């Protein structure tokens, strides 16, 4: 009986560790699944204060999306947004700032997770290319990324 109790305690400890040591088990806010159009609209304020409905931050959506379905929903949404901004970027510093902000905000949210969300970060980073976009949009992209990591 003593061995069974030790195994149960170890299993509970592993489950607590996998879910962030018992913190952050709240589901993502409803605003996190409102779709690409809503995220694109919110990003219009970048590099300023970007928030979804009810003040929800992009990083909050990433940090609180713990199950596969939630992460997939974010992935589809954020990659659609990133590709939309990528199409606009050759003509627009503002699009570069918005794309950078999205990448930075997702990085910010992923830092406070057990690592599963890092795949989303990697995929978003690849949209603009290794090192960010080429040439004249690189500075705007990096400015947006810094803002996203700071307050996204």
Domain boundaries, the chain: 26-151
What's the pLDDT at 14? 37
pTM, full prediction: 0.84
Neighbouring residues of 101: CB distance < 8 A, sequence distance ≥ 6 = 43, 46, 47, 50, 144, 145, 147, 148, 152
Please give the full DSSP string across 57-120, using - where no structure is assigned: -HHHHHHH--SHHHHHHHHHHHHHHHHHHHHHGGG-HHHHHHHHHHHHHHHHHHTTSSSTTHHH
> What are 136-149's pLDDT values in tens digits?
999 999 999 999 99
Residue 49: CB atoms within 10 Å: 12
> What are 61-82's pLDDT values in tens digits?
999 998 889 999 999 999 999 9
> What are 29-60's pLDDT values in tens digits?
999 999 999 999 999 999 999 999 999 999 99
């Amino acid at each position: 009986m003593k061995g069974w109790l030790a195994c149960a305690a170890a299993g509970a400890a592993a489950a607590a560790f996998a879910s962030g040591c018992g913190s952050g088990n709240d589901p993502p806010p409803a605003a996190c699944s409102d779709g690409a159009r809503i995220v694109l609209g919110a990003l219009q304020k970048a590099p300023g204060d970007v928030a979804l409905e009810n003040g929800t931050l992009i990083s909050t959506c990433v940090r609180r999306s713990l199950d596969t379905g939630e992460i997939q929903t974010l992935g589809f949404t954020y990659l659609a947004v990133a590709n939309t901004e990528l199409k606009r970027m050759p003509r627009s510093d503002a699009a570069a700032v918005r794309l950078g902000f999205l990448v930075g905000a997702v990085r910010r949210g992923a830092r406070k997770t057990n690592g599963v969300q890092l795949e989303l970060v990697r995929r978003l980073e690849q949209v603009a290319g290794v090192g960010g976009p080429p040439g004249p949009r690189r500075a705007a992209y990096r400015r947006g990324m810094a803002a996203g990591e700071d307050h996204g």
